[in-house]
Amino acid sequence: TPTPGSKYYLPNVTKSLCFCGAGAAPGVGWTTPILIQSVTATSATLSWYRVTDGSLAATTTATLIAGSGVRIDPWSISTLPADTQYSVVIDAGTGTVNAIVTEFAPDGDNAMSYEGFRTQ
């Protein structure tokens, strides 16, 4: 987006979501890494909410370098249960970022992405 913001909502982020009971390992079901591009921000706080009940599942911090990007894979956050769907809020404070979610599943043509929803 040509207009970066300080806060983004990502309504569908998953960690091995398959509704199959076997999603406790990487490579099973849908996993949706987040890509954050820093425009001016040096850090961002990510709040991970469970879609099923809205409860806060985890809070993480990403270290950023202005003019570059980072990839955050839900599998890198050990406190997040697998086979779960999350809504994530990215807050870059006074800095600005852009964010997208990439969605992947094994076997076949199983990939898509969407832009985060900027609020500020």
Which two three-digit tokens encode residue 18? 């398959």
Which two three-digit tokens encode residue 47? 């709040």
Overall residue count recorded for the chain in this entry: 120
The model's pTM is 0.89
> Do 120 and 68 form a contact (C-beta atoms < 8 A)?
no
Residue with tokens 């997208």: 100
Q: Give the pLDDT of the chain (120 residues) as one tens digit per residue.
A: 678 999 999 999 988 877 666 556 666 677 889 999 999 999 999 999 999 999 999 999 999 999 999 999 998 999 998 888 999 999 999 999 999 999 877 666 677 889 999 986
Which two three-digit tokens encode residue 1? 């987006």
Task: Please name the amino acid found at residue 42.
Answer: T
d(CA 115, CA 21): 29
